[in-house]
Amino acid sequence: MHYHEKLLSPHRQEPQSIGLIPMVVETSGRGERAYDIYSRLLKERVVFLVGEVNDHSANLIVAQMLFLESENPDKDIHFYINSPGGSVTAGMAIYDTMQFIKPDISTLCVGQAASMGAFLLTAGEKGKRFCLPNSRVMIHQPLGGFRGQASDIEIHAREILYLKQR
């Protein structure tokens, strides 16, 4: 595979997973301190969802939101979303946390917010939901594919309808 094919591959790795995270160096009277860019932005109460919504990304986001609430429950959290969507259950864990914690969550779409990413974008505090001018939002009806016995398919269909009505 050539270099340009790797860049265009739909299966390419996220920069975070291959060690290309930029570092920020801060200098103070006590010396220098280096942060990865995401840790530095977390100090400013900025949380990122980059890529697919899955159990791993949801757990990281939930933990960051809970940490920021414990640091200051009265200060807004800024949630930046660039996601094609993903797991409904993982996304609902993020959504429930956003509704549960005290700080207002300001959401901002950078790039795309599709499917579960769009749902999370709309979960921000009313009046604090934003999209950059060239970002894209895509909302669709809940999807589900299932095989098996008719009773299992019926249970799965009821769950999809339940999620749609929520």
Active site residues: 115, 140
136-to-40, 91, 100, 156 alpha-carbon distances in Å: 27, 19, 27, 30
Taking a C-beta distance cutoff of 8 angstroms, is the pair 52, 20 a contact?
Answer: no
CA distance 97 to 64: 10
Residue 66 tokens read as 């809970």
* Residue the block writes with tokens 């900025």: 46
> What CA dihedral angle connects 144, 150, 152 and 158, to 10 degrees?
60
